[in-house]
Structure 1
Amino acid sequence: MLSSEVGDDLTSAYVTRVPLLAGANPYVTLYDGDTPTGYASLWQVDWSTHGSGSVLVVWTPAGLRVVSDDPRLGAWIEEHFVRHFDEARALPSWPAARVERAAVELRVDPATGAYAAAAGLTVGITGPLDARPFAMADFPLRGASHGLSMQIIPCAHASITIDGRAVPGVPAVTWPGGRPSSSAITTVHEAWSM
């Protein structure tokens, strides 16, 4: 086969993508035994088709809260991404969201973890165990193929508090094949395309 034919074959299989978002998305699910007690998704959006800013999504059996300094961005993050992730879909329920406008303090540090605070909610993710790149050219989300790349940092510890009261539970940490896996993750350099 001629090299120009190889190029033609590769070109015909290539899917052109449009950038959607760049930033970071640390997240955690807390468990009491096998029962999920809390879930949080923290978004540091450096750039997106819906603007930039911070979003904090927190679920407990008592309900769902979405807080953002930009409610339009917060609604898009919850609707397009969070509610469709495996972690959210595995929860017993995911009610309709109402976005609260409030300043979100968010720090993401690959060496130490992540911290977010807004409107009586705080989330901490600490104790990095590993750092590894992740990329998926065909990540199914909302019935459509998305591109996703990021650095994943599984962490040992996490907490969620609501109005000063700690949500019970801890992250699930396992070591399959000697490699750490956790339900508490810090991500950096996260990029989505469609």
Structure 2
Amino acid sequence: MVTKAPAATGYVTRTPLLTGANPFVTLYDADGAPTGYASLWQIDWSTHGTGAVMVVWTPTSLRVVGDHPGLAAWIEEHFVRHFDEATALPSWPAVQARHAVVRLRVDPATGARAEAAGMAVSITGPLDARPFAQADFPLRGVSHGLSMQVIPCEHATITIDGIAVPGSPAVVRADGRPASSAVVTVHEAWSA
């Protein structure tokens, strides 16, 4: 006798949104106040095209640039401004994405470096590499699927128009497991 498998309940099908890499860093001063934040994106495939994007925040400005301004605007509006790192900042103004050629290199063994429009971001000194997946990542009130390889790093800098943003990443080692506010992600995939 062949029995039928019970029907799955509660399963949510998803549509792919993007794949790529998303190195990011928050710098802090000695008192723990954020001094700079950068989110770098290498989009290998997405519903809005491919290319590189830089989102850089300081207490006095927010800059969003990319190879394709439409892609850069979507990344900033749909993802970055809703991440915990951005919502923890004292302000996140409205901004218009601008076109700029973004030179971004992501290397899981050494870190990431990006340059565009007078900005430079460097994230180096990998401390660990571990997989991460979350089937229900709430973003903009919508459940998203997220998976990636997370590489916390020890060092990071942000430079704007030749001037270094003060501060450094927060690095902790809880029970020997390193965590940092400077992270390189690879194999990042989002779905909704």
Out of 97, 100, 103, the residue aligned to residue 99 of structure 1 is 97
Partner in structure 2 of residue 20 of structure 1: 17
Out of 166, 173, 176, the residue aligned to residue 174 of structure 2 is 176
Letter in 1 for 2:25: V
Letter in 1 for 2:51: G
Q: How does 1:15-164 map to 2 (within 5 A)?
A: 15-33=12-30, 34-164=32-162
What TM-score, normalized to structure 1? 0.96
Structure ranking higher in helix proportion = 1
- Structure 2 residue matching 1:87: 3-state secondary structure: helix
Tell me, which stretches of 5 or more residues in structure 2 are unaligned? Answer: none
Q: Report the Cα distance in structure 2 between the residues aligned to 1:117 and 1:109, rounded to whole angstroms.
A: 15
Q: 1:3 to 1:167 in 2, by over 3 A?
A: farther
Q: Report the Cα distance in structure 1 between the residues aligned to 2:61 and 2:123, rounded to whole angstroms.
A: 21
What TM-score, normalized to structure 2? 0.97
- Structure 2 residue matching 1:175: 3-state secondary structure: strand
Q: Report the Cα distance in structure 2 between the residues aligned to 1:133 and 1:123, rounded to whole angstroms.
A: 24
Q: Is residue 4 of structure 2 the alignment partner of residue 4 of structure 1?
A: yes
Partner in structure 1 of residue 163 of structure 2: 165
Deviation at 1:97?
Answer: 1.2
CA distances 1:100-153 after superposition (whole Å, capped 9, x unpaired)? 101000000000000000000000000000000000000000000000000000
Structure 1 stretches of 4+ with a deviation exceeding 2 A read 2-6
Q: Report the Cα distance in structure 2 between the residues aligned to 1:191 and 1:123, rounded to whole angstroms.
A: 22
Deviation at 1:94?
Answer: 0.1
Q: Report the Cα distance in structure 2 between the residues aligned to 1:176 and 1:3, rounded to whole angstroms.
A: 49
Q: Report the Cα distance in structure 2 between the residues aligned to 1:188 and 1:148, rounded to whole angstroms.
A: 12
Deviation at 1:98?
Answer: 1.2
Q: 1:3 to 1:108 in 2, by over 3 A?
A: farther
- Structure 1 residue matching 2:9: 3-state secondary structure: helix
Q: Report the Cα distance in structure 1 between the residues aligned to 2:80 and 2:95, rounded to whole angstroms.
A: 11
Tell me, which stretches of 5 or more residues in structure 1 are unaligned? Answer: none
CA distances 1:51-85 after superposition (whole Å, capped 9, x unpaired)? 00000000000110001010000000000000000
